[in-house]
Amino acid sequence: MGNKPQKSSFMSKKNNWHERWLDRLPDDRLFTRLLLESYREHRWKYFAASGAMVLVAVATALSAWMMGEIIDTLANPEDRSRVRLIGISIALIFSFRGLALYTQAVLMARAGNRIVAQKQKQMYDRMLSQGVEFFNDKHSSQLLMKITQSAQAARSIIDSIVSGFAKDLLTLVGLVGVMFYQQPFLSVACLVVVPIVLFGIRKILKLVQEVMAEEMGGLAEIIKVVQETSTGARVVKAFALEAQMTDRMDDAICQVEERRNRMTQLEAATMPLLDIIAGVAIGLIVILSSVSIFGQAPGTPGQLMSFVTAFLMSYEPANRLSRMRVVIERGMVGVRMMYKLLDTPQTLTESADAVAMPDGPNAVTLSNVSFSYGKKQRVLKNISTTFEAGKTTALVGPSGGGKSTLFDLLLRLYDPVEGSIMINGLDIRTATFKSLRSKIAFVGQDTFLFTATVMENLLLARPGATEEDAIAAAKTAHAHEFIEKLPKGYDTQIGENGSFLSGGQRQRLSIARAVLRQAPILLLDEATSALDSHSEALVRDALETITSGVTTIVIAHRLSTVMNADKICYLEAGQIVEQGTISDLIAAKGKFNDLYDMQYGGKETGE
């Protein structure tokens, strides 16, 4: 029965040689992989942008060369036709350069923005298709950082490489060409200093990479603290944790500030290095230009001007090229993070030949189901039972017995390690997620509400439901009364996780969602927190309405629920130790009977 490892949607579109090749790349070849992926997707934009950049490089070299022509022409203004030719050429070259710069900037930005968008989508899809255990050991701020920052890093690397090679390198070659053409000996002298500069910069690169990784960690901590302050505002206030939170935040902010300063210091150190060398070199050029070297007469003023201009203009592309590695090293931290998320194996996937869950009476049968979280101890051991169609089964037993875990397996948030769960005779692992989940509604203890209106939160329960359906469901769940009293009724915006609603109100919204879902199987985790008696009565009434005729499995905390159940399963340490009707279990005088006497005291507790 199939829980075969699946190709992700991102991988399954593979149909040409690059994609097959990408698959075979080992992890440390991320850089090549990133370039190949971007090449595959955006080659035409990059070719066009590179074309424009070649034109920029040519125009830049020409403009340096023209400076010499201007000087020599102005020294001889009587030659009117030459003056005109030079004037028109200058205008054309600069306009040409402007247009080419514009074209390459637009094309590069489009390709870059598309890369960011695509990578973010891929990362989010990957994250969304992970099983819940993926989220168990990760703080949401980590994921937030990955999705928002790492795609940008990928983009900056590609931008830097494409413009580095197509624009800066060619521009540099053009300008150096002009330098050699005008003053070969001075050019050789200038080029001697380049290796010295590169050596200094290389030293700095290693440090930048280390600091960058630390800065990312600091940023993640800031996001984490803000998030925890926002979601845990009540606890923070109630336990007067403000001082600790401020300390944590201060630490994180200071850390990032320090790292940023250090990074800027390192990066900025590469600039004055080039500045000093440029200044010294130009000074020497001026001095050397007045004397003849190796018997060569000094050049014309025009040649010298052209040479100095080319030399100065080469500073910028040379500087960017020398920093290209910094940009790449820095970006690779993010790219590594991105691919780590994209390559996280999926533990819970839909079988390739998954079928729709068949219709039927909707009984749920567990045969020899065992489960453990990761490699830990079994939390469910060899469970076999049937939750009968249209009946209510109550799960009772001590905390930690595995009741919630059993629900998670029924919802297929995890797969059993052994055994199988069948609905209408079909193993749920062979059903499509969509059809399985459409069979099941879940009402939990804490109702997660999205930051949206009440109506939008309700309509999420069933795609295609109308607003009338939602209102009818809210009426059944006794939620309509309080929703109407909200400032904007059904259009009231619910803040992050519905903070202004009471426990009872949130529960009734959750029940309304379950009603709207119209699922034939209902999983109900009864609230343990005490509700006020009015809310309690409304919730109970609503639950009675929705459970009738539906296969209901309830984690029961109230005696009334246990009393009304058709069957009781007593779960302890991952095993069903007793099951039957309430009278069977009391008569058996076993564990349930003890719990019944002790916890419920034989009377309604309202817990």
Binding residues (CB under 6 A) for ligand ADP: these are 136, 373, 379, 399-405
Smallest gap from residue 370 Cβ to ligand ADP (A): 13
Q: Which residues contact 210 (CB under 8 A, 6 or more apart)?
A: none
User: Which residue's CB is nearer to ligand ADP, number 482 or number 570?
Assistant: 570
- Vertex 318: Cα angle to 316 and 321 (nearest 5): 110
Smallest gap from residue 380 Cβ to ligand ADP (A): 8
Comparing C-alpha atoms, which of 254, 248, 257, 255 is closest to residue 229?
Answer: 248
User: Which residue's CB is nearer to ligand ADP, number 326 or number 406?
Assistant: 406
Tell me which H or E stretch contains 427: strand 426-427
User: Which residue's CB is nearer to ligand ADP, number 379 or number 553?
Assistant: 379
> Hey, CA dihedral for 472, 476, 481, 482, is it positive or negative?
negative
Comparing C-alpha atoms, which of 584, 589, 550 is closest to residue 567?
Answer: 584
556 with 526: CB under 8 angstroms? yes
527 with 446: CB under 8 angstroms? no
User: Which residue's CB is nearer to ligand ADP, number 317 or number 401?
Assistant: 401
User: Which residue's CB is nearer to ligand ADP, number 520 or number 574?
Assistant: 574
User: Which residue's CB is nearer to ligand ADP, number 410 or number 538?
Assistant: 410
Smallest gap from residue 215 Cβ to ligand ADP (A): 32
Smallest gap from residue 6 Cβ to ligand ADP (A): 23
Separation of alpha carbons 122 and 131, rounded Å: 16
- Vertex 451: Cα angle to 446 and 455 (nearest 5): 85
User: Which residue's CB is nearer to ligand ADP, number 96 or number 373?
Assistant: 373
User: Which residue's CB is nearer to ligand ADP, number 71 or number 573?
Assistant: 573
Comparing C-alpha atoms, which of 482, 540, 484 is closest to residue 506?
Answer: 482
User: Which residue's CB is nearer to ligand ADP, number 563 or number 573?
Assistant: 573
User: Which residue's CB is nearer to ligand ADP, number 256 or number 379?
Assistant: 379
577 with 570: CB under 8 angstroms? yes
User: Which residue's CB is nearer to ligand ADP, number 358 or number 400?
Assistant: 400
Residue with tokens 């639950």: 543
Tokens describing residue 230: 């926002």
Smallest gap from residue 11 Cβ to ligand ADP (A): 28
Phi and psi of 292, rounded to 5°? -90, 135
Separation of alpha carbons 250 and 253, rounded Å: 5
DSSP output for 125-141: HHHHTS-HHHHHTS-HH
Centre a 10 Å sphere on the Cβ of residue 322 and count the other Cβ atoms it contains.
20
Smallest gap from residue 406 Cβ to ligand ADP (A): 7
Q: Which residues contact 341 (CB under 8 A, 6 or more apart)?
A: 123, 126, 127, 143, 146, 147, 150
Smallest gap from residue 414 Cβ to ligand ADP (A): 9
Burial of 109 per CB tally in 10 Å (0-12, 13-18, 19+): middle
Smallest gap from residue 408 Cβ to ligand ADP (A): 7
Give the torsion through C-alpha atoms of 545, 548, 553, 558, to 10 deg. Answer: 50
Tokens describing residue 279: 């200044």
User: Which residue's CB is nearer to ligand ADP, number 309 or number 405?
Assistant: 405
DSSP output for 357-385: PPPSS--EEEEEEEEESTTS-EEEEEEEE
User: Which residue's CB is nearer to ligand ADP, number 140 or number 261?
Assistant: 140
Centre a 10 Å sphere on the Cβ of residue 552 and count the other Cβ atoms it contains.
24
- Vertex 202: Cα angle to 198 and 205 (nearest 5): 140
Residue with tokens 């440029």: 278
User: Which residue's CB is nearer to ligand ADP, number 14 or number 139?
Assistant: 139
Tokens describing residue 557: 């905390």
Going by the DSSP 8-state scheme, the letter that residue 355 receives in this structure is: B
Comparing C-alpha atoms, which of 472, 443, 478 is closest to residue 459?
Answer: 472
Q: In what order do the strands lie in the sheet with 567-572?
A: 440-443, 521-525, 551-555, 392-396, 567-572, 575-580
User: Which residue's CB is nearer to ligand ADP, number 301 or number 444?
Assistant: 444
